[in-house]
Amino acid sequence: MPKDLTFTCSACAAKTSKWSGRCDNCGEWNTITEDKALTSGPKKKSLGGMRGNVITLTDLATQEKEPPRTKAGVDELDRVLGGGLTKASATLVGGDPGIGKSTLLLQAAARFARNGLNVIYISGEESNSQVQMRARRLGLTESPVKLAAETNLRDILTTLEVEKPDLAIIDSIQTMWADNVESAPGSVSQVRSSAHELTTFAKRNGMSVILVGHVTKEGAIAGPRVVEHMVDTVLYFEGERGHQFRILRSVKNRFGPADEIGVFEMTDKGLAEVKNPSALFLSERGAPAPGSVVFAGIEGTRPVLCEIQALVAPSPHSQPRRSVVGWDGNRLAMILAVLESRCGVPFAGLDVYLNVAGGLRISEPGADLAVAAALVSAREDSALPAEACVFGEISLSGALRPVAQAENRLKEAQKLGFTSAITPHQKKQVTVPGLTVRTAHDLAGFVEDVFGARD
């Protein structure tokens, strides 16, 4: 057996040097297949034997500084894409079932088609009549979008070769089937092969392609992780079914900033963009209540204000409960430990519930101080002023660290009518007209200043 021969499990993509009936990684039977090389090129050839054109870095100066883009006319979508759709790009969109991925992309296809692009929408999950029914409900029947219902990858590539569209939307990549791969549609090898063929075709023909990807119960896009490396942009469509708005989040973008978000509201006419997300997230906030704190955060390049809610109650169990929605549970445990060891605020025997209102998910450490304020406020049954916002990072020593783009956060707060803000002490203090900024060096000083001396 040749030494360079490798085998791959079609269920979990694990690689092995020898064939076996059962995969040692996932335990599935009869899923080990031999990896076949795409080409067996000439041996002992240097880089000069490549058929492609090789240029020097200095030649790039004569080319366009920015790749050509086409705007959809939807500011929230264009923002997440980095300024518009880039020619010859591959984009992967993932999200929970029923969250609105197909609705978003059908609306986007209609917008791009109205702006002059030749757009084809290929569905592997619905028939043409079903897509037309959704288009009628959304009021998109007058849009010049071409529809196709197909799952065979060879037929799809042939159609794209004939139609030569500017944009192709594939809904979804898990339904595509390549007849040269011996596995069922949706398997790891099928998803990887289909994504590779579509991405390569798009790059070679100057066509943009958007792939819809299903997600697993953990929230990651189903299939091999290599698919996310193949494409240029990875977007996640998030939201809670109990809330009317959805968040389109960029986690990878070769043509713009990552971690950018676009906010949409689900209506009976489809998805409508939200021009001011901060006002939406704070729209249902009532009178000041213990455990409610407004956090001035940054999502990508945009400042976003949201409400962090905490509830602290005596626990009837020997092991107190810690429940978190919209934030990192491990970071909550760290904040509780710092409050207890550095500030003398115990949470033993107390259940702690933390929620980011509106279904927004926060990942930046700048929310530490707002979370700590919400926890202490809930425990002491003492509400913060309604016109105050909070942000800052907490270290394990209890010190408060400044966060990036403090001025943008404060300007957004002032624009929404807030009159005061509590932030970590910075070497160069930021001043915003109409906004009073209070600073603290450490968490203990913050707790004493805002809630009074602790016992």
Which residues are part of a known binding site for ATP? 95-102
Nearest to 113 by CA among 91, 129, 135: 135
- Rounded to whole angstroms, the Cα distance separating 170 from 60 reads 32
Map tokens 């939307």 to a residue: 169
Token output for 258:
């990552």
- Rounded to whole angstroms, the Cα distance separating 342 from 135 reads 58
Map tokens 């990875």 to a residue: 234
**Cross-sheet strand order for the sheet of 167-171:** 146-149, 119-123, 167-171, 208-214, 90-95, 233-238, 245-253, 261-267, 270-273
Measured from the Cβ of residue 141, the count of other Cβ atoms closer than 10 Å reads: 11
Which residues are part of a known binding site? 95-102
Q: Are 247 and 262 in contact (CB under 8 A)?
A: yes
Q: Measuring CA to CA, how many Å separate 247 from each of 80, 266, 361? A: 10, 11, 9
Nearest to 296 by CA among 315, 310, 277, 317: 277
- Rounded to whole angstroms, the Cα distance separating 218 from 202 reads 30
Contacts of 210 (CB under 8 A, 6+ apart): 90, 91, 92, 93, 105, 108, 167, 168, 169, 170
- Rounded to whole angstroms, the Cα distance separating 85 from 78 reads 7
- Rounded to whole angstroms, the Cα distance separating 332 from 323 reads 9
- Rounded to whole angstroms, the Cα distance separating 145 from 111 reads 9
> What is the DSSP code string of 178-222?
-TTS-S-TTSHHHHHHHHHHHHHHHHHHT-EEEEEEEB-TTSSBS
Q: What angle do CA 422, 447, 339 make, to 5 degrees?
A: 115
- Rounded to whole angstroms, the Cα distance separating 69 from 61 reads 19
Measured from the Cβ of residue 51, the count of other Cβ atoms closer than 10 Å reads: 5
Nearest to 90 by CA among 98, 81, 100, 79: 81
Using CB atoms within 10 Å of the CB of residue 64, give its burial: 0 to 12 exposed, 13 to 18 middle, 19+ buried.
exposed
